[in-house]
Amino acid sequence: MFERAERLKKLPPYLFKELDRKRDEAISKGVDVIDLGVGDPDLPTPEPVVEEMKKAVQDPMNHRYPSYSGMIEFRKAAAQWYKSRFGVSVDPEQEVLSLIGSKEGIAHFPLAFVNPGDIVLVPTPAYPVYNIATIFAGGNSFFMPLLEENHFLPDLSSIPTEIAEKAKIMFINYPNNPTSATADKDFFKEVVKFAKKHNIIVCHDAAYTEISFDGYIPPSFLEVDGAKDVAVEFHSLSKTYNMTGWRIGFAVGNSDLISALGAIKSNIDSGVFQAVQIAGIRALRLNKSWLKSTVDIYRKRRDMLVEALNNIGLKVKPPKATFYLWIKVPEGYSSEEFASRLLEEAGIVVTPGNGFGEPGEGYIRISLTQKDERLKEAVARIERIRI
Ligand SMILES: *Cc1c(COP(=O)(O)O)cnc(C)c1O
């Protein structure tokens, strides 16, 4: 047989075979299962973006290889969006790179800087790609636990000096998936200081900066003085504009970091389909009122679910950002046990928190990306549960 490479054998084990089996069994028995597990917007891509794509796809100019670093028009639109949204100036030629979704950029980034045995600082619980990309590059993750008592921010002072000295990259992500925590600029300043002191590259995953509520406006990491000396920020059009299927995002930041990532990418992929970049430009230029209507939908869903969960005795605070609820399970349950109970008694699928890393044990994540009617049905079923 063909033996798989060590890097695949080193992937963390998949924890939820049993839960998946229960879900499949429920479905096969005819249970109407509501999936609140995956974070993939149910809302459609804005109509003007779809229309732009229709035109662009018919133009033979767009049928050829795109530029590796991305169309300059797309990079300019990203830079303009950055300026108007965050007040941060970036050079579209040197400091912006188109990505085939931000996951692609995040996954490739360690290949540009990590040698076998190097250390990467990775939050946990977290989006799994930071750790896996580190493994694929031959590096070792040093996990930074995100704990409720620290507002789900990593405690930089608890990182041993010898680890900090050896670390090449730090990944962070705010607003955060899965905890829905937010970070303020003071925390980002602390990270810049730490990174400069120990010569560490900061990769900030900013996939959720546009999904926020109650007047809260998430900052860009690059708003902080000196951030551009050490950091690259990953943005995605996926969550902001309901474009997960289109595969488009971009990286912004330090020109040496951007150019090194570009050097990896130009040897692996050949850029983003130009028609998708043209549609992406249209998205970045959408009127702000469009985003507001999307966020209003998530806010209503959030409030509806938070109320239902509190009614059954869980203590859930409405998150300031993201479309996730990060919920402490009742006393006496593990994450998986409580997820099983929701499946068995309410036909609802949620993600056990430990799937995002060990400190996520004791939590579940609920995603708000299901149709309103389905969420209402979920709420009705939840309210029938007695804990
Ligand atoms: C969804 C998500 C991404 C990936 O988005 P794409 O641009 O679709 O690849 C990256 N990071 C986090 C934390 C996410 O939740």
Nearest atom of ligand 1 to the alpha carbon of 126: 13
The pLDDT confidence band at residue 211, using thresholds 50, 70 and 90, is very high
pLDDT of residue 199: 98
Q: Is the predicted pLDDT of residue 387 greater than 90, yes or no?
A: no
340 and 273 in a common domain: no
Q: What's the 222 CA to ligand 1 centre distance in angstroms?
A: 19
The pLDDT confidence band at residue 367, using thresholds 50, 70 and 90, is very high
Instruction: Quote the number of domains for the chain.
Output: 2
Q: Is the predicted pLDDT of residue 148 greater than 90, yes or no?
A: yes
pLDDT of residue 370: 94
Q: Say if residues 168 and 118 touch (Cβ distance below 8 Å).
A: yes
Which pair of structure tokens corresponds to residue 319? 């998150």
The strand pairing partners of 121, in sequence order, are 142, 170
* Residue 316: inside a domain: yes
- What is the residue range of 298's domain? 12-41+289-382
CA 212, CA 65: separation in Å to the nearest integer?
A: 37
* Residue 5: inside a domain: no
Q: Is the predicted pLDDT of residue 13 greater than 90, yes or no?
A: no
228 and 138 in a common domain: yes
Q: Tell me the Ramachandran region of residue 349: left when phi exceeds 0, alpha when psi lies from -120 to 50, beta otherwise.
A: beta
Residues in the chain: 387
CATH code (residue 345):
3.90.1150.10
CATH code (residue 199):
3.40.640.10
* Residue 268: inside a domain: yes
Of 284, 307, 332, which residue is a domain's last?
284
Q: What's the 384 CA to ligand 1 centre distance in angstroms?
A: 34
Residue with tokens 């570009």: 262
* Residue 73: inside a domain: yes
pLDDT of residue 294: 96
Q: How much is the mean pLDDT over the chain?
A: 95
CA nearest to 364, candidates 342, 332, 387: 342
Least confident of 88-92, 234-238, 368-372: 368-372
Q: Tell me the Ramachandran region of residue 138: left when phi exceeds 0, alpha when psi lies from -120 to 50, beta otherwise.
A: left
Global pTM reads 0.97
The pLDDT confidence band at residue 120, using thresholds 50, 70 and 90, is very high
* Residue 387: inside a domain: no
* Residue 245: inside a domain: yes
The pLDDT confidence band at residue 159, using thresholds 50, 70 and 90, is very high
Question: What percentage of the chain exceeds 90 in pLDDT?
Answer: 90
* Beta carbon of 102 within 6 Å of any ligand 1 atom: yes
Peptide bond into 123 cis (omega under 30): no
Q: Is the predicted pLDDT of residue 254 greater than 80, yes or no?
A: yes
333 and 194 in a common domain: no
123 and 77 in a common domain: yes
pLDDT of residue 17: 82
* CB within 8 Å of 171: residues ≥ 6 apart: 106, 120, 121, 122, 123, 126, 130, 203, 205
* Beta carbon of 127 within 6 Å of any ligand 1 atom: yes
* Beta carbon of 177 within 6 Å of any ligand 1 atom: yes
The pLDDT confidence band at residue 124, using thresholds 50, 70 and 90, is very high
pLDDT of residue 384: 87
pLDDT of residue 18: 83
60 and 171 in a common domain: yes
The pLDDT confidence band at residue 70, using thresholds 50, 70 and 90, is confident
CA 79, CA 98: separation in Å to the nearest integer?
A: 11
In b/e form, how buried is each residue of 67-87, taking b as 16+ CB within 10 angstroms? bbbbbeebbbbbbebbeeebe
* CB within 8 Å of 166: residues ≥ 6 apart: 118, 119
pLDDT of residue 386: 78
Interval 287-314: pLDDT, tens: 989 999 999 999 999 999 999 999 988 9
pLDDT of residue 160: 98
Which pair of structure tokens corresponds to residue 254? 């330090």
* Beta carbon of 173 within 6 Å of any ligand 1 atom: yes
Q: Say if residues 124 and 103 touch (Cβ distance below 8 Å).
A: no
338 and 243 in a common domain: no
**What average pLDDT does the segment 191-220 reach?**
98
* Beta carbon of 207 within 6 Å of any ligand 1 atom: yes
Q: Whose CA is nearest to atom 12 of ligand 1?
A: 207
Question: What percentage of the chain exceeds 70 in pLDDT?
Answer: 100
**What average pLDDT does the segment 361-373 reach?**
95
